[in-house]
Amino acid sequence: MAKKAINPKAPSISDSVAAMAALGGKMPPHDIEFEEAVLGAILVDKDALQNVVEILKPEHFYKEANQMVYSAILRLNAQMAPIDIKTVQEELKRVGELEKVGGLLYVVSLTSRVATAVNIEYHAKLIFQKYLQRSLIHLGGDLVTSGYDETKDVADLLEEAEDKLFTLSQGSMKKEVVQIGSVVSVAINQMHEAAKREDKLSGIPSGFRGIDEITLGWQPATMVVIAARPAMGKTAFVLSMARRMAIDYRLPIAMFSLEMSNVELVKRIMTAETEIPSEKIKSGRLTPEEWQHFDSQIDRVVNAPIYIDDTPGLSVFDLRSKARILKKKHDIKCIIIDYLQLMTASAMKPGSRQEEVSMISRSLKGLAKELDIPVIALSQLNRSVEQRTSSVGNGIDSKRPQLSDLRESGAIEQDADMVCFIHRPEYYHILDDGKGNSLVGMAQFIIAKHRSGRIDDVLLKFRAELIRFEEPDNLQAYTSGAEGPSAGQQYYMSAVNSDNPGVDLSGQSEDVPF
């Protein structure tokens, strides 16, 4: 569903009266002479329209007659018809607006308002600025009226006001078309900067060597979706990653947790950093030696540049606002959201939950581009994974997640630059990789979509007692060669070992919440 346009109609008499009241009796900002000069230039110079068509829309004109004339010009342009006094007159007559604008006499008079079309672009920008000023005045008036309405929720009013102001500001920021040469120079400079880095990455390191080898780090302005079924370890993975980013690399990270409280998240980070089992962190029953070790390590957590927001049911508008503040104040390098389906887009009033998720997904992609940082959003998978029969045949693990398993998958899959899955075969009683290597305690990080690189799998080690992911102790044993993880399903060549008496998986997801 499209966003509601800001001030989409021509200002009426009542609008002008309301605006004048808001301004203490002053007329709203406008300049009729510039409007007539622009229209006159278009009528006398057939090439003039191309200089302003990307700047001006009919509603940007203050005078209603000028809105009608410009609309007629745009319709003629769309039909690739010539634009002059005669054709504009006929078009206005066809739609019944010629007399409303003042007849042929007014159309002819426009050509006397300009001597040359040289300054038309400058004049058009001034008209647009006047329009923005009027829009701000009308928005302010609407906010005053809404503020007196006791039936409206204040939070909804704030969201609606921010959305309208953001829409207005976005409309004023027009990116110009650039010649490829200037973009090439920027790309080359980025290549030189990346070559200087010892880690050979061009983005933000994840802290996991296998993942960084494929992605070259999480790239700026990208949206990354990491999805899994419950109990696979989504939150544990992003916390492991955030801890490495912030503590090891000193990169400011923002984390929006819609499911867990900030205290729960911090306890997990403390568990992972101090390597003291989560049960002891929760109970506080540490030995004197463990307390001493805890005290020696906790400063690294206290001073980590991790900024946590645990607002439940966070709207995409609130997130966008908070993210901008964090970027400006702390220069955050990455945003992590846990998780996407718990967000709302209430002020946008979508028609269905699928439309709402689509709006949220597009907004997150837009936020990544706006702040020029990676946005990593966790996502749930639907139940189709569980409904597939647990088996391994022809080297294919039937429980392995697929893009179609994403909840509300269409928009998320389309908007995301990368889609990754976390898969633990052990959870489904797949206990070896067909080469004698145990998959107990191992996890598969599956890169299923990668807009700017290859798709591949990365094997990770999961330590349940510390609720953290690590590099495998012997990665090469799980791969087809010395170059790193092999692609596809090569790790899952075994038969189902659900009757293996040596492994008890019962209760694991209850002891360790994921």
- Please report where in the chains the tokens 């330590």 appear, as a residue: 463
Determine how β-strand 418-423 pairs with β-strand 396-397. unpaired
- What's the CA dihedral at 250, 319, 355, 258 to 10 degrees? 70
Distance (Å, rounded) from C-alpha 73 to C-alpha 53? 10
Q: How far is CA 411 from CA 256, 355, 365, 415, in A?
A: 21, 9, 11, 6
Residue ranges of the alpha helices (H) in 197-253?
A: 209-215, 234-243
Q: How far is CA 317 from CA 8, 156, 386, in A?
A: 22, 10, 34
Whether 90 is catalytic is: no
Residue ranges of the alpha helices (H) in 79-222?
A: 85-94, 98-101, 103-110, 120-147, 154-172, 180-196, 209-215
Distance (Å, rounded) from C-alpha 267 to C-alpha 49? 62
Catalytic-labelled residue, pool 64, 121, 213, 259: 259
CA 11 to chain centroid, in Å, comes to: 34
Q: How far is CA 427 from CA 389, 444, 458, 468, 493, in A?
A: 14, 12, 17, 16, 16
Distance (Å, rounded) from C-alpha 43 to C-alpha 91? 13
Distance (Å, rounded) from C-alpha 358 to C-alpha 340? 11
| Cβ(395)–Cβ(493) below 8 Å | yes
Let me know if 335 is exposed, middle or buried by CB neighbors in 10 A (0-12, 13-18, 19+): buried
- Please report where in the chains the tokens 């040596």 appear, as a residue: 502
Distance (Å, rounded) from C-alpha 242 to C-alpha 445? 16
Q: How far is CA 108 from CA 39, 85, 91, 100, 349, in A?
A: 11, 7, 14, 15, 46
Distance (Å, rounded) from C-alpha 375 to C-alpha 224? 6
Catalytic annotation, residues: 259
